[in-house]
Structure 1
């Protein structure tokens, strides 16, 4: 069995402060260690349940957060930026399932830890064929394009609620309960380990029961920005149609095309910050 893991940092156990997610401080290094530790915890359980191959894609910020020398030596790591499929780089039809670890809730989630969708200063709301999604739902759609089900999502309790709507009845691990955007009650570590033991075992031993996220073609994406000037930048692409002062729309033939164009729009909009 071959498993794909996309790992973000905001939803990692113990990560709550802005100092934890970027910068030069020792707090960011600690968070990177916690991220590596949690990914190792998942991989240990995967191997225990008969998985033969694991590929981990570092999916936060500069995408070089996981400390490779501390990573399980039997795991492959995709590290660095830019990457063609960003948070889902490396996914293809050879994987039996995918897991999203360290994830956070979508933009606008009340009291969600670091709530945002790809870029906290740019994306206000993202909908695909009328369904509002965050990073979990969008990335599950990309996995679904290759016939790969997302079987487990871990992060704060708000994102584990989100994925039940965005993906379906899959396994989740809530590593912390949110109190505010920068505050959470973290699980005791021993309970965290037990939660992963149970969730991973269920996920890899029942892959056929989990939904593969799909949408009917054409895919229609609507992207609401935080600033109207961002629409002006996005509207320079011929595929894009302006809906109002903060929202654009485009059609895509498949999730990969949609994903790449969405990321291009975010990059264009970032030029006005």
Structure 2
């Protein structure tokens, strides 16, 4: 069984603030250790369930957060950026399952460090007119490849968001949101033990894989800045809906790749900090 892990940071055990998850935050280096150990817990669970290989994609921010020397040596790691497919780099139809470790809820939800890809720069995203964030985009992309998502770890709002997309996904709440930068934490040892056991159980009871699909879907993004929206129609197929909103239609994997290009354009024309 080939297992793919996309590892974000905001939903990692014990982390609640931008200082925990963004360099040069005062607790960022400690946050990197915490992230690596949550991922290790999922890797252990995967191998206990019979995994033959595990690929981990560092999917947060600079995408060089995980510590290779502390990562379970049985797993391969994709590190650094830019990547054409960003948070799903390396995910292909050859994988039998995908896991989401350390994820957060979408923009507009009162979850820990909630946002959609670019902090305040993205106001809303819709996939076929349904509100979507990083969780829904990954789930839809994996489904288009025929790869089921079996696990998500994060705060309780991220878990609820995944369950809304797919009730069959196992979730582990490692903290409970009190506000956007505050949470009631699950004790570290308990959280990691639960990640490990839930991963093992989820992989032993995998749901039927979705049918791969190249169906055309519609992605709509509303930006905080009209400047971003003014640049994106230079990309063939992208249209402005209004001064701050663009839309494009394509098969899901092409949409995800285009959206990653949107992010690079937005980064070039804005300088907004990630969370404040």
The Cα shift of 1:186 comes to: 0.8
Partner of 1:220: 218
The Cα shift of 1:54 comes to: 0.7
Does residue 232 of structure 2 align to residue 257 of structure 1? Answer: no
Gaps of 5+ in 1: none
Counterpart contact for 2:141–2:252, Cα < 8 Å: yes
Alignment of 1:221-260 (within 5 A): 221-252=219-250, 254-260=251-257
The whole-number CA distance in structure 2 between the counterparts of 1:181 and 1:121 is: 13
The Cα shift of 1:80 comes to: 1.0
From the superposition, tell whether residues 29 and 35 of structure 1 become closer, same or farther in structure 2 (CA, over 3 Å): same
Partner of 1:51: 51
The whole-number CA distance in structure 2 between the counterparts of 1:225 and 1:241 is: 14
Match of 1:44, SS state, is helix
The whole-number CA distance in structure 1 between the counterparts of 2:196 and 2:125 is: 33
TM-score, structure 2 as length reference? 0.92
The Cα shift of 1:25 comes to: 4.5
Listed one character per residue, the Cα deviations across residues 116-168 of structure 1 (whole Å, up to 9, x for unaligned) are 11111321111111111110110111212221001111101001000112233
Match of 2:3, SS state, is strand
The whole-number CA distance in structure 2 between the counterparts of 1:242 and 1:14 is: 40
Alignment of 1:1-273 (within 5 A): 1-110=1-110, 112-209=111-208, 212=210, 217-252=215-250, 254-273=251-270
The whole-number CA distance in structure 1 between the counterparts of 2:179 and 2:211 is: 30
The Cα shift of 1:26 comes to: 4.7
Gaps of 5+ in 2: 271-276
- Say what the alpha-carbon RMSD is for the aligned residues: 1.7
TM-score, structure 1 as length reference? 0.93
The whole-number CA distance in structure 2 between the counterparts of 1:104 and 1:208 is: 23
Match of 1:80, SS state, is coil
Match of 1:200, SS state, is helix
Listed one character per residue, the Cα deviations across residues 180-224 of structure 1 (whole Å, up to 9, x for unaligned) are 111111102232134224421321011134x63877832111111
The Cα shift of 1:81 comes to: 0.8
Which runs of at least 4 in structure 1 moved beyond 4 Å after TM superposition? 213-216
The Cα shift of 1:58 comes to: 0.4
Counterpart contact for 1:141–1:213, Cα < 8 Å: no
Counterpart contact for 1:167–1:213, Cα < 8 Å: no
